Amino acid sequence: DKIINIKKLPIYKINTKDYLNIKIHETQIDKNTLPKPNKMFLLTSGIEIMGIIIDNNGKVLIECVNKKFQICHQLVIYYVLGLYSWINIEKLAFENPRLLSAIFSLFYRLVDKKAYSIFSKCCSSEIDDIDDLNACFNYFMNLTKNIDCHPNLSSDCFSLLQYIRENCDINFYELVKNNRDIFLETVKKEGKESAKKRFLPLPDITKSNKYSMLPNYNCITNILARINKMNHTKVKIYHDEQHEFKEVIENAVNDIWDLSCPGSIKSKYADFNLLSKPDLYFIDSKSSFGIQFADILSGLVRFVILNINNKNCHISSPILEAFSTINSEARSDFGINYLLDAFEMEKINELCSRYYL
């Protein structure tokens, strides 16, 4: 209510009864599964809502994640760049985000199904079973040993590799080998269980006790850090009712608070050092304008992202205008924070530049 007092906002042509009754799930937003009237309602409403938010100096924070790219992103962090190596990932992300994006995008195009299969086994095996973790390191050592001759090294990959080499002196093979040596040393000193915990990304544990790598955890913590950078005040989170992922979201909120300290990660637009623990509430979206606004805006963004390469789908100027407004540089208080491949980002920026021209 401090950001936008929804009760005082004009709803223009949008029927409030439609808002109170409509329930939009993420899986329904795809153009092939969403009935045409509802899709048009979604997009038209998204355009109008964007206008309302801009007119009232509202804040829009969106996290846009390619799920496969996110998993590859974690694989590169843990097994290539390494959390415990001489590469300072936080510093690199702050000083040269384009370089880091090129590294992630290169491996996203080189890594095949075998790596994801090995990693999946690694996550589901017993905590003291490190065979699959060893296999992860061996996979990346084989991949990086002759990276210039890799069968998946397309012209796009080659241009990424050239850019990386022009901007830094990184030997990927030596990095992976060093990370594996650190892992084996950790096994000797601390035992298999401790070593495996160190070299597995933080999971999303669902009620079924499955180890998932969904974006829910990272997206919640990123949004909280962006809000914290904008305003160091008590935060209240109103989240749509979730059954399967409720525990994941609760864990994300608890963990960012438990790990908050003066030395927590800071970037240009995010600060993970929270001064107070956020309050989290799960409510029925049918009774919340705010959640319905968020659903519709995220649906508009998703529609554009999914259809950038769809020659059969014309993205109209009003939709593109609303998207381009949200797509303005991701700040702590406004915009989209992407976890996408560099070439996907090029297409998004090209689309928006056509609108600005």
Q: How many CB atoms lie within 10 A of CB 273?
A: 17
The rounded distance, in Å, linking the Cα atoms of 205 and 217 is 10
Nearest by Cα to 225 from 195, 270, 258: 270
* 14: pLDDT strictly greater than 50: no
Tens digit of each residue's pLDDT (9 = 90 or more) over 302-344:
888 888 877 777 777 778 878 887 876 555 567 888 888 888 8
Region 197-218: mean pLDDT is 65
Q: What is each CA distance from 65 to 21, 202, 218, 265, 298, in whole angstroms?
A: 28, 17, 10, 20, 12
DSSP 85: S
E strands, the chain, where? 60-65, 204-205, 211-212, 236-240, 279-283, 334-339
Both structure tokens of 66? 């390619």
CB 70 within 8 A of CB 111: no
The pLDDT of residue 256 is 84
Tens digit of each residue's pLDDT (9 = 90 or more) over 113-143:
898 888 888 777 776 778 888 899 999 999 9
The rounded distance, in Å, linking the Cα atoms of 80 and 167 is 18
Where is average pLDDT lowest: 52-56, 219-223, 235-239, 287-291? 52-56
Q: Where is mean pLDDT largest: 41-45, 174-178, 199-203, 211-215?
A: 174-178
Nearest by Cα to 330 from 249, 223, 218, 232: 223
Region 152-181: mean pLDDT is 89
The rounded distance, in Å, linking the Cα atoms of 314 and 354 is 14
* 12: pLDDT strictly greater than 70: no
Region 270-298: mean pLDDT is 84
